[in-house]
């Protein structure tokens, strides 16, 4: 009798990622506000580019993502040769972890940080090290205190998911400047476009060789169903990551749609403006009801109730009304619900249900 196959160290420690719900039994009018999707969908130009690509599905895509990297570079003022594209920003984060962390190494995450970070650490055989946050905001001093000779990566979402809070530029710079040169600071900017005046970490990448930033087309650009993301770093890091990237990791249809989306600035700016307006509207209404809600810099808000029981009851009331939001007990926030900022009708529907739940209407 031979031994059974054994997975690599760390794999069986992975808690499988659970995505937001999208259906409710017996209802065909479900309002899905659980996955931070763009309520306006993708740009019409992106849709047209995707349809046009259908006639070339028998052709292999280019392997260097050149047109897409040049489009991203042109829009954001970045060097295309320092960009890498992946299957969502998750794949870029995976490249970074696989390249720079392994058994015996430590990867720092934060108390309410995105759940993929410890998954990626375990997948590489590294040990995730969680540090506290301060009032749902990343604590730079706590991160620095957790750095040891074994530390290889620090994962930081800015704006953060699921809290919507963010570190200002000065705090980010202090963190980057204080980290040892062999520790990579990964700034996950999945929601960066929704934070006005924020470069997502570009200036830090240009200044520090151990800083990497990532972005996604899933949120602002409404292309979550296509899975496209990108990363920006100094050339030495990008050269390492490209050695892990499979040559055909993105299809031509993905790249064509993403290029059209990033170049359609009118549509993107409209989505950003509407999100900012309705995010403030939704947050103000929640606060007036007595529901705690930090200022958000993303396309969602985190509604905080008195305790886990009230949060569960609020979720039940929303589900009864056909509305799906995200429970975040797995992020150590059992008293909270994460609510995507939808269009105006969706926001008013949320407010109406929660106002009746709180007895203020």
CATH number at residue 315: 3.90.1150.10
Strands 106-110 and 127-131 come out as parallel
Q: How far apart are CA 312 and CA 333, in angstroms?
A: 12
Residue where a domain stops, chosen among 264, 296, 317: 264
Residues 303 and 239 grouped into a single domain: no
The better pLDDT of the pair 126, 13 is held by 126
Residue, of 21 and 154, whose pLDDT is higher: 154
23: containing domain: 11-41+266-358
Residue with more model confidence, 233 or 10: 233
What residues are paired with 303 via a beta bridge? Answer: 337
Q: Are 36 and 221 in contact (CB under 8 A)?
A: no
Neighbours of 210 (CB within 10 A): 21
pLDDT recorded at residue 28: 74
Instruction: Count each helix (H run) and each strand (E run) in the chain, helices first.
Output: 12, 14
Integer-rounded Cα Rg, in Å, for the chain is: 21
Q: Are 349 and 321 in contact (CB under 8 A)?
A: yes
Is residue 233 scored above 60 in pLDDT?
yes
Q: Does any domain span residue 114?
A: yes
CA distance 343 to 287: 19
Q: In 3D, which of 145, 139, 208, 146 has the Cα closest to residue 177?
A: 208
Q: Hey, what are 166's tokens?
A: 């963010």
Give residue-wise pLDDT tens across range 218-228. 999 999 999 99
C-beta separation of 208 from 174 below 8 A: no
Phi, psi of 111 (to 5 degrees): -50, -45
* CA-to-CA separations, 109 to 32, 144, 162, 187, in angstroms, rounded: 28, 12, 14, 11
Give the span between the Cα atoms of 107 and 117, in whole angstroms: 8
Confidence of residue 167 (pLDDT cuts 50, 70, 90): very high
Q: Residues 26-68: pLDDT tens digits?
A: 677 889 999 999 999 999 999 999 999 999 999 999 999 999 9
Structure confidence by residue, pLDDT tens digits, 272-311: 999 999 999 999 999 999 999 999 999 999 999 999 999 9
pLDDT the model gives residue 86: 98
pLDDT tens-digit profile of 303-358?
A: 999 999 999 999 999 999 999 999 999 999 999 999 999 999 999 999 999 999 99
Q: Which of 296, 328, 35, 303 is CA-nearest to residue 166?
A: 296
Asked if residue 179 and residue 54 are part of one domain, the reply reads yes
Number of domains in the chain: 2
Confidence of residue 5 (pLDDT cuts 50, 70, 90): confident
Judgement on whether residues 259 and 270 belong to the same structural domain of the protein: no
Alpha-carbon gap, residue 95 to 1, rounded angstroms: 37
Residues 30 and 150 in one domain: no
Classify strands 336-340 and 300-304 as parallel, antiparallel or unpaired. antiparallel
155 assigned to some structural domain: yes
CB 41 within 8 A of CB 264: no
pLDDT one-digit tens code per residue, 92-142? 999 999 999 999 999 999 999 999 999 999 999 999 999 999 999 999 999
* Entry pTM: 0.92
- Among 264, 282, 316, the domain-final residue is 264
- In the predicted model, is pLDDT for residue 170 greater than 90? yes
Q: How far, in Å, are 171, 229, 294 from residue 183 at the CA level?
A: 17, 23, 31
Q: Which of the four pLDDT bands, split at 50, 70 and 90, describes residue 18?
A: low
| pLDDT, position 22 | 67
Residue that is written with structure tokens 């750095």 in the block: 147
């Amino acid at each position: 009798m031979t031994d059974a196959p054994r997975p690599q160290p760390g794999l069986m420690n992975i808690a499988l990622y659970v995505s937001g719900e999208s259906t409710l039994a017996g209802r065909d009018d479900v309002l899905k506000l659980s996955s931070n999707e763009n309520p306006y969908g993708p740009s019409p130009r992106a849709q047209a580019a995707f349809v046009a690509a259908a006639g070339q599905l028998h052709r292999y895509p280019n392997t260097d993502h050149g047109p897409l990297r040049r489009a991203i570079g042109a829009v954001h003022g970045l060097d295309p040769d320092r960009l890498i594209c992946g299957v969502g920003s998750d794949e870029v984060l995976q490249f970074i972890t696989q390249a720079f962390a392994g058994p015996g190494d430590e990867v720092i995450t934060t108390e309410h940080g995105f759940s993929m970070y410890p998954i990626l650490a375990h997948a590489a055989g590294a040990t995730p090290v969680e540090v506290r946050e301060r009032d749902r905001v990343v604590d730079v001093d706590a991160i620095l205190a957790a750095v040891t000779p074994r530390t290889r990566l620090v994962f930081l979402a800015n704006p953060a998911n699921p809290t919507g809070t963010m570190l200002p530029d000065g705090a980010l710079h202090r963190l980057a400047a204080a980290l040892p040169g062999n520790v990579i600071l990964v700034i996950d900017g999945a929601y960066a476009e929704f934070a006005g005046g924020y470069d997502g970490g570009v200036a830090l990448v240009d200044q520090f060789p151990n800083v990497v930033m990532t972005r996604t087309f899933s949120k602002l650009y409404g292309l979550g169903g296509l899975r496209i993301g990108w990363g920006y770093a100094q050339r030495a890091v990008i050269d390492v990551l490209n050695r892990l990237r499979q040559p055909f990791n993105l299809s031509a249809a993905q790249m064509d749609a993403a290029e059209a989306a990033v170049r359609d600035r009118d549509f993107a700016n409209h989505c950003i403006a509407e999100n900012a307006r309705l995010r403030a509207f939704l947050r103000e209404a929640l606060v007036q009801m007595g529901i705690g809600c930090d200022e958000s810099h993303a396309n969602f808000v985190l509604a905080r109730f008195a305790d886990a029981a009230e949060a569960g009851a609020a979720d039940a009331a929303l589900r009864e009304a056909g509305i799906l939001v995200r429970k975040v007990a797995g992020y150590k926030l059992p008293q909270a619900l994460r609510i995507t900022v939808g269009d105006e009708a969706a926001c008013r529907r949320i407010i109406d249900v929660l106002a009746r739940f709180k007895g203020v209407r």
